[in-house]
Structure 1
Amino acid sequence: MRVYSQNMRLPRHRDPACPFSPPAELRGLPAMSRLEFADGHLGWLATTMAAAKVVLGDPRFSARQELKHVPVRSARPGGPAAPAPPGFFATMDPPGHTRYRRLLTGRFTVRRMRELEPRVERIAAEHLDAMAAAGPPADLVSAYALPIPSLVICELLGVPYDDRGFFQDRTARIVLPDRDTAGAIADLSAYLGELVRRRRAEPGDDLISDLTGDLTDEELANVAMILLVAGHETTANMLALGTFALLERGVAYEEGAVEELLRWLSVLQLGAPSRAALEDVEVAGALVRKGETVAMSLSVVNRDPDEFDDPDALLPGRPEARRHLAFGHGVHQCLGQQLARIELRAGYRALFDRFPGLRLAVSAAEVPLKEGAAVHGVERLPVTWPT
């Protein structure tokens, strides 16, 4: 393992030769290690479950974007970020964050999400029918993994699915650090602002219409942006990358595998999430000074040997798998985690039931990874099956 004699920097992405595992440089580090951020800021990297939970759960750490430094280089202009605009609750602290979260929590309860399960299953079946009709091979990303969560979140929010090409392109630019992130956000903001105005004039049976009485147009457009981007990007990558992992490892899918795949893959990339210390705080024996940013490697945290037996093994029946932090921890824990679980369970189950002989159509080394993206995944996943 590489030994850092000075402050370390994060690798840009995972090793293509071992796409499911965290980089070797990050294994075996102390719970809190000094990290040099892309802008020269000297902060920290948390690599254990206990340290990550403290940073994510302690109100002395802030999610505000104007207080944090970015761990890896991105297309965002240098210097501090502006405070979060109204409605952009993901980078707010209480009480601002609490207000938006309370408005949304009732719309994402376990009961409400389970009511969506039959619809998710129908969407999966329809796309598998189309794959079967077209015959092998197929790109699982475009034919299956991306359409399922995209269609579900569109129906939930009231976003026209016919516009998926536009918002999928803008989302891809947002999560890839070398792309025009600011331009993509501006495009999505303008699109959703117009959609909010239409829904306010002509309400429908959707989340955007439901919130028009509680939020301004700007707030609602920003809330919708967070839900739209998060609602399809992470789940689509998990569906494809999880299938890739199972096929490449020769591991059979079984009920209960979703939590282990979430733990083992940890699709949020290096350095995400992060928090800024509002005061001096001791974490795992390290003194984090006020103003310092702590980043996390969830791919390492979710393989913490103090939490998981044989953590590098992919074991679909692992009883402790649900301890993972794939959905975060604390007040910012993923709002849509129950919806994601339903989509993943339905998606994997339907795929492997329909095509029990599913296999990669190319060698594992030929599957293109999303290099440097904020969300780990594959660009394409060519698969085939017996006919």
Structure 2
Amino acid sequence: MSHRTGFGLFATARAVSWAGSSITAVALPVLLYARTGSASLSGLLPALEALPYLVLGLPAGALADRWDRRRTMSRCSWYSAALIAAIPVAASLDVLTTAQIMVTAPAVSAVFVFFDAAAFGALTTLVGREGLARATGRMMSASTLIGLLGPSAAGILVATLGAPTAVTLDALSYAAATLLLTRLPLAVADRTAADDRPPARRALMEEMAEGLRHIRRHPVVRPLTLLGIGNSFTEGAVVGLIVVAAVRRYGMGLDDGRTGLFWAAAATGALAAATALPRLQKTVPAGWITLGGLAANALFLACWALSPGLASGLAALAAWQASNTLVSLNGIVVRQQVTPDHLQARVNTTARMIAWGGQPLGAATAGVLADAVGLRAALLLACLAALTSLAAGLTTQLRRKALPAIGEAVSP
């Protein structure tokens, strides 16, 4: 089987899983808010989902560079299917609790950390470095297209079938994805290019430290990674408060199928960013893409907080998501392009762990603030995180049109 066909299988498996996950992305927050009515817990849920990357990113990356990538991804998909399936099973037995919902979300996320670590290296092997930007853009476009259609359908499914039953489809999607992943043309031989052979196996801590050193010393990867913290803080705030906004601001009931429109609007923005990024990277310096994206992030988040009606709110949310995704995706693509194959899992999971560090804090903080000072004030305060990253970025070499060459020392 050719690697081109392999990429098709890989992309299809991810698309099937994304389709199922788009349902759970709507169903779990709705299920939680219906049981508790708490903005604080609604914010805590995405915070818990983001936490495993902060805890497991380093060891998962180092281990995934040792393990067989195909086997790792396949097993992780099966584990995710089992965890998700437990929700409708418990609901059917009338034993589903708030605690189970709050535990399932981070458990699935913990499994995803290992899947993601293996997937970084797998994608590089399947398409080559020269094909990373295009392949990543295509996958992001597929992901966001599914995100555009999926949440709208999920809102209808949740309203008609109930959230627990709708979640069953996600479990089935993970199982279907597993069957596709087991056929990927990945083997140890794929990772032994003469100029990129992995070093002899060493202690796990040493391998983890190597990934950190690569990020710390690289003149482009380091600032792109650190600036992602403010970007992810705003993401956590928005994701944590979408259901709260639908209910408290726009007067929607939890059984209103229109709740899916908020995720659909966000997916529209993400699709626009994924489509534009490959062209932008050919004409605009990588640093400027990130700095411009952070400025737009703060602007459109403020617009969403202050929007007077549903239509303007959805438009502002889509624009905010486009800017947020542009910052995130630009950092991911650049990082993959400049990282040696034997470091792909370690560097990418570690960098994502750092960049996503703001997400759980943003989600939890915004939820508490929404209960304490109101939804609008919570969102406006979240803008400060993007502005802080922007200010920090303007003091780095990212503001220059020509960035340092790979390996070149960074000026103090």
- TM-score relative to the length of structure 2: 0.27
Structure with greater helix percent: 2
Q: Which structure has the higher relative contact order (CA within 8 Å, separation 6+)?
A: 2
Structure with greater strand share of residues: 1
- TM-score, normalised on structure 1? 0.28
